[in-house]
């Protein structure tokens, strides 16, 4: 076999490989379930990964009885909209734990009703607007919870409540009161590490 023939054969093999690769690419790029079945196991695993899935499968009510409990004392402070605030700017909890927040509305003014939401980072204003639309009939809890991980009911002045929920997946979130007009002053970082 001389060098010339060898090179020709290599070109032929390369062309065949190229056709095979192109064919597999066409299958990979197909849409729908059928296309997914045609592809290799590796590709299926990649296709099934969705960035949203981490929180989409999160269920605050799914509490593991054996999980460590992290207790947090959080006060809603102030008797007017000018000075109202949460007592902590940041809450840190461990992933896999059960979170117990003792939320105490220390206010005395009738307008100082508060709640506690955990929302995806950067969505607290959207949550507050959606809560406003939901209104008092729905306890200021929006129907669409795409970006909302946890909601509490509204606490009247002087009321307190123990909020118990499973820690969300590792990440940075926001906690916020969505009672109308409160979100800008009543919010903080909720960090799961």
Judged by the rule CB under 5 A, the positions of this chain that interact with Cu ion are 114, 177, 179, 182, 186
Closest CA to 170 of 90, 70, 96, 118: 96
Q: Are 175 and 185 in contact (CB under 8 A)?
A: no
Nearer to Cu ion, 76 or 192 (CB): 76
How far apart are alpha carbons 59 and 63 in whole angstroms?
A: 9
Nearer to Cu ion, 43 or 129 (CB): 129
Nearer to Cu ion, 118 or 167 (CB): 118
We find the least distance from the C-beta atom of residue 150 to Cu ion, in angstroms, to be: 15
We find the least distance from the C-beta atom of residue 87 to Cu ion, in angstroms, to be: 12
Nearer to Cu ion, 99 or 177 (CB): 177
We find the least distance from the C-beta atom of residue 160 to Cu ion, in angstroms, to be: 14
Which residue number has the CB closest to Cu ion? 177
79-99 burial, b if ≥16 CB within 10 A, otherwise e? Answer: eeeeebbbebeebebeeeebb
What is the CB-side half-sphere exposure of residue 96 using CA atoms within 13 A? 3
We find the least distance from the C-beta atom of residue 112 to Cu ion, in angstroms, to be: 7
We find the least distance from the C-beta atom of residue 77 to Cu ion, in angstroms, to be: 10
Nearer to Cu ion, 43 or 139 (CB): 139
CA triple 102-105-107, angle to 5 deg? 155
Instruction: Provide φ and ψ at 109, rounded to 5°.
Output: -80, 140
């Amino acid at each position: 076999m001389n060098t010339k023939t060898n090179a020709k054969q290599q070109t032929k093999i390369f062309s065949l490989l190229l056709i095979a690769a192109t064919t597999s690419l066409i299958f990979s790029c197909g849409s729908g379930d059928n296309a997914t079945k045609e592809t290799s196991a590796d590709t299926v695993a990649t296709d099934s990964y969705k960035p949203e899935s981490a929180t989409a499968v999160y269920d605050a009510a799914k509490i593991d009885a054996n999980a460590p409990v992290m207790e947090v004392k959080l006060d809603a402070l102030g008797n007017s909209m000018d000075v109202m605030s949460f007592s902590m700017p940041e809450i840190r909890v461990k992933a896999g734990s059960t979170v117990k927040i003792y939320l105490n509305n220390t206010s005395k003014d009738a307008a100082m009703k508060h709640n506690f939401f955990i929302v995806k980072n950067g969505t607290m204003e959207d949550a507050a607007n959606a809560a406003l639309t939901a209104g008092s009939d729905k306890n200021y809890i929006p129907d669409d919870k795409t970006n909302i991980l946890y909601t509490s009911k509204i606490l009247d002045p002087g009321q307190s409540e123990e909020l118990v929920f499973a820690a969300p997946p590792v990440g940075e979130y926001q906690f916020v009161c969505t009672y109308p007009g409160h979100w800008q002053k009543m919010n903080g970082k909720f960090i799961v590490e």
